[in-house]
Amino acid sequence: MRWLGFCLLATLIVTDSEAQNWHSPHPWRAAAVVDGRDRDYNNEYFLHAFSYRHLLDQPAPLEEGIRGTAGSLTSDRLYMDFRYHQSFVFDNPDQAFTLDIQRSEDFDGSYDRQLVGFRQTLAQRWQLSLQGDVFSDKSLTDIYFGARRLHGQGSWLQLSVVLPNAYFNDKTDSQSELVDEPRTLFAQWHQQHSPRTSTTLSVNHTPDATLDDRIRGDRVSSRQTRIALRHRAQYGDWQWQADLHGERTRRQHQLDENIAQLAFRRDMASLTLAVRYRPHRWQPQVGARYFWLDEDGWFGRELNGNGEVSRQEPMLFGGISLPLSDTQRLAPTVYLSRPRVEQTVNSQQWRDRDDDEFVGKLSVPWHITVSKQNGAVLSIVPSMRLHRFAFGGGNVQLHWPL
């Protein structure tokens, strides 16, 4: 039994590629298009954010359970990516109540979602779902419609349509108006080639939408496309994982105090490759990542100014997994990066940057199995900066399959 627990914990230790979940519907948000993000990314931000990604793969992003990670970015800023996803099956097994609670952030800031809904399975081949992100202010409610075609061996094709702020024009008590109502389209293809080989492709697209926000004095038109691809494979004794993410965002702002329209553009891409040698008791892993972010224009009411941001961040990382007992492991990991950041802004809230320096950190995750029956693991992750002698931030994670 001792080695059974040891093997279970070793199997779970597979690094994710990002903290935020790119493989779920990501609907239009009014606060995102009007306000934009409220934080300035320093040269360590994405190093920390990547080290705080989900270190365990069960439950996987597409599975039910609790996936939570929270880590310190600065003395006053916390990174969080949390999801509690569970279905409550009726006496009729083809029907279920669904609950999906999310808290995370994207390049426009933090967000929360509390989705409640119903799922109906038809002929063991189709799953139809209806969910709502419901608020006491009915004008803010998002409605999700979904259809999933089930294939053999855990594969599927899913299509979803989200109506953000579905009742806004009828229910708002302000003078604001959705001139062109937003619609978010989500498609996902998941192919389970074998028990240890799978491919997942997710596309999230919001066509042109226009909000006339009278409170913030901004009439903004926007569109956005996000794409994510993951491939995991087992070749002999080697476990491989590749993740590709991309985003294209365009906005046009017409401010009350400005006659001319102000544009905003964001293009982002990242590629992460990782390989682990499974037979060795230390489970050594190495990986490489390239992150690119290019933004310019009017960033929103939070910054209330224009700017240009260009980031290119290559990274190498590697680590091992050291068994302490059948329920505990240490997984020291080193991250080495050289961000090249050029940033100019006409606002006192952010500062101009011209960075091209090495940054690195050593993280020492301590994985503790807290429930063998459920495969639940608590991870406590202290770290140290390598480019200067200083604490590198703390991170706590909980992964509880359901």
Residue 59, preceding bond cis, omega within 30 degrees? Answer: yes
Neighbours of 194 (CB within 10 A): 9
Quickly state the pLDDT bin for 164 (edges 50, 70, 90): very high
- Write out 91-116 in H/E/C secondary structure: CCCCEEEEEEEEEEEECCEEEEEEEE
| pLDDT for position 1 | 40
User: Which phi and psi angles does 131 have, rounded to 5°?
Assistant: -135, 155
Mean of the per-residue pLDDT values for the chain?
A: 93
| pLDDT for position 22 | 92
User: Contact 282/274 with Cβ under 8 angstroms?
Assistant: no
Quickly state the pLDDT bin for 60 (edges 50, 70, 90): confident
Report the DSSP beta bridge partners of residue 384.
362, 391
Q: State which H helix or E strand residue 211 sits in.
A: strand 197-213
Spacing of C-alpha 80 from chain mean position: 10
Neighbours of 58 (CB within 10 A): 20
Quickly state the pLDDT bin for 144 (edges 50, 70, 90): very high
- What letter does residue 155 receive in the DSSP assignment? -
User: Contact 34/247 with Cβ under 8 angstroms?
Assistant: no
Quickly state the pLDDT bin for 15 (edges 50, 70, 90): low
For residue 267 the two structure tokens come to 């293009």
Spacing of C-alpha 99 from chain mean position: 18
Calpha distance 100→147 (Å, rounded): 17
Quickly state the pLDDT bin for 275 (edges 50, 70, 90): very high
